[in-house]
Amino acid sequence: MSEQPTIAFIGLGVMGGPMAGHLARAGYAVTAYNRSPERAAKWRDCWAAEGLAVAFAATPADAASGSDIVFTCVGNDEDLAQVTLGADGVLGAMAAGALLADHTTTSADMARTLAEACAAKGIGFVDAPVSGGEAGAVNGKLAIMCGGSAADLARAHPVMDTYAKAIVHVGPAGAGQTAKMANQMCIAGVLAGLSEAVRLAEAAGLDLAKTYEAISGGAAQSWQMDNRWRTMTAGSFDFGFAIDLMRKDLGYALDEARRLGLAAPVTALVDQFYADVQAAGGGRKDTSALITRLPRRVPQEG
């Protein structure tokens, strides 16, 4: 492999588009593919306006052909199987010695299946789901939890550094996805508590800014509180990571918990709360829209 690896990036969504842009800005030769031509055109125009040279391919296989490292960042297990193992998937075009790094949030089983398929062809594999939301992708400040061999991660690490604030190797193939499940379970639980806390403060007639100031400096502090307290109280829920995607992620987490013989009652309950918001038409809203499930109460006199 050349000193400066050539890159294919498959999936130019809310997360993948900014990540591919960071790679191009860092000087990597990038070939991109997106299943939606309209979104591909949007990114092509955006990068051209910056003077970035990103090539575009007609299929995942075309993008992967001749690439040293292929990144994927799509929707779910089925989407990932299509762009990797399908008729025009990347594994059919990647050469032995290349590396596949997957940023999709999938099941751990999917990660292990891909690892086996890659190993059969002499291709390295890292499952590398990300956390940090759209802002983290745009600002190049993502947290990446990785499964796979240390040698494969060592190859991917310097490239992923272009859009990461933290890259942690948590274990063998599938471990990155399992760590991401734990991440999503934590977020869901925090947002459920935060939603109830905001509604309590509103109903009591508290000054919401002062309440945040009072409680955010102690043990209740969290990223969600710091970044979503004000937006939740303002009824603003357009921050990139949709409830539809969170429910997909929590489904993987609940499946894995069952596989391991574990109970996850809080996660299961919050998942159903999110289902309520979906049923009310809020599936594309940010995960903090969980608060909309709880009616706002007007403070009582006296």
Residues with catalytic function: 180
In the chain, the amino acid numbered 24 is: A
Residues in CB range of 217: below 8 A, 6 or more apart: none
Q: CA-to-CA distance for 158 and 278, rounded, in angstroms? A: 39
For the record, the structure tokens of 276 come out as: 């309520």
The answer to whether residues 192 and 273 touch, using CB atoms and an 8 Å cutoff, is yes
> Which long-range contacts (C-beta less than 8 Å, at least 24 apart) are formed by 108-114?
108/174, 108/175, 108/177, 108/178, 108/181, 108/252, 108/256, 109/174, 110/77, 110/80, 110/81, 110/177, 111/147, 111/173, 111/174, 111/176, 111/177, 112/173, 112/174, 114/80, 114/84, 114/85, 114/173
For the record, the structure tokens of 149 come out as: 């061999």
**Which residue(s) pair with 168 in the sheet?**
145
**Which residue(s) pair with 171 in the sheet?**
147
Sign of CA dihedral 36, 30, 140, 126: positive
